[in-house]
A and B are shown apart, each in its own frame.
Chain A
């Protein structure tokens, strides 16, 4: 029995699971192809093996775009903050730390379920809004910035993966702004600030609230600080902002286990911070 040849088009039809018109003899092959296609497309994926699972888990720890990865980053940032806080208090710095840092420590302690003393509210200890320095006056680069509300733990999940460093927990700014007692200042890293189109930096909350909050020093600008200044230009008197930043980082960083100095431990006093 001689079999009719199959044209290229008929072959393609059969391999696509179609019955070429007028070629009923090819129908069984088309059926086989359809069955194979459906069988393979409906096959359940095999269970993910431990090696692949571990690999994904490891990459998830460093992932910046996935939800689980971001949560993991946040958890690491919180753990680091707690470690720093414990290190600060245990090392006997309780009485030495400036008020804002003590508050930060206490807030971090609250977040992790540990009780740390809050500072006495001494208006003379820290003066925030009244003192504004030019960028050149702040070479060390630490910042005491305006105290608009800032997100709390959300900062640990920033898209760029930079979580707040331990000493600059956002809780401080949040509390201060709400209390309205100490004035709008806190200590925070650059990672908390948004880049403004004009080239200045400002906290996200200022943008979200339309900049209705008056800026320290009497300015009231919808876009941020008075002309020529931005929040990085604001500093605590007597270099306290510089000191607190350095104290928190230097003490805390020493308590961190090696290998955990990830993006959440980004230093606050990078030179470019103070030279805008």
Chain B
């Protein structure tokens, strides 16, 4: 088993971006975003006892992932929904009990429910606004890097578009939220067997799509 994470930076998926080169600034940006992190457990405890500073750290730590989960799930207003999620988290913070993993699962459960509400409101699946994508990668400040990042983003977005909603839910919870099969089953209210079947089918669908595109593997 080989780790695909290139130490020089994240590799844009060759399946969707054959010219992809490492995006060196992302690693730097990640380090800048999470300097000398406190354990999330400690932050959760402090926030539960009323520490605003701890809650703000939790927000900074997790809001990006929550927003990404909502964005890749085509939520109509990922940033607004993320705020709604954390309002709910803050409201119920005192009632939460559990460890870091439990907290993450709890947050993404709230996020998932908000997304379902959003879907119902919208009544249709809303495509991700191109402007949002450009804005997301606009902070790099390097035209070439931005272009590659945007292409990769568009490629992944198109790739995920081949999945059913259930498959996408499972895949994004497993990948972006980094939840286990058990956690995903709890979040989605499904059995673990169903989640495993969905993730199998999701990966198979992605692989078929990649094969059809005739894109080689990354080197």
Contact = CB atoms under 8 A, between A and B. Distances in A.
A63 B64 contact: no
B203 A63 contact: no
Contacts of A11: 196, 199-200, 203
Contacts of A55: 87, 90-91
B16 A64 contact: no
Contacts of A25: 207, 217
Interface stretch (B114-122, B123-131, B172-180): B172-180
Contact of B52 (A17, A38, A68): A68
SS class, residues of chain B in contact with chain A: helix
A28 B217 contact: yes
Nearest to A25: B207
A209 to B, nearest CB: 32
A45 B61 CA distance: 8
A19 interface: yes
Given A34-B5, A45-B63, A52 B83 contact: yes
A49 B49 contact: no
Contacts of B30: 38, 41-42
B53 A66 contact: yes
Interface of A: 1, 3, 6, 8, 11, 13-15, 17-21, 24-49, 51-52, 55-57, 59-60, 62-69
A66 to B, nearest CB: 4
Interface of B: 1-5, 10-16, 26, 29-30, 33, 46, 49-56, 59-60, 62-65, 67-69, 72, 78-80, 82-83, 86-87, 90-91, 136, 139, 152-153, 156, 159, 171-172, 174-176, 178, 196, 199-200, 203-204, 206-208, 210-211, 215-218
Contacts of A29: 15, 203, 206-207, 210
Contacts of A33: 175
B4 A19 contact: yes
29 contacts: A3-B204, A15-B175, A18-B3, A18-B4, A19-B1, A20-B1, A27-B217, A28-B217, A28-B218, A29-B207, A31-B14, A34-B11, A35-B11, A36-B72, A38-B5, A38-B26, A39-B156, A40-B64, A40-B69, A40-B175, A43-B68, A45-B82, A46-B64, A46-B78, A52-B90, A63-B50, A64-B50, A65-B50, A66-B52
A31 to B, nearest CB: 4
A18 B2 CA distance: 6
Contacts of A30: 4
A19 B12 CA distance: 15
Given A15-B175, A36-B156, 10 more contacts: A17-B4, A29-B206, A31-B14, A42-B30, A48-B59, A56-B90, A59-B50, A65-B51, A68-B53, A69-B50
Nearest to B199: A11
A184 B69 CA distance: 64
Nearest to A44: B64
A27 B4 contact: yes
A39 B203 contact: no
Nearest to A45: B63
Contacts of B72: 36, 40
Which residue of A18, A27, A64, A69 has the most chain B CB atoms within 10 A of its CB atom? A27
A60 B29 CA distance: 30
A6 B204 contact: yes
Contacts of B62: 45
A67 to B, nearest CB: 7
Given A1-B211, A29-B206, A59-B52, A41 B59 contact: no
Contact of B15 (A28, A46, A65): A28
A32 B206 contact: yes
Given A65-B50, A66-B53, A32 B79 contact: no
Which residue of A1, A41, A45, A64 has the most chain B CB atoms within 10 A of its CB atom? A45
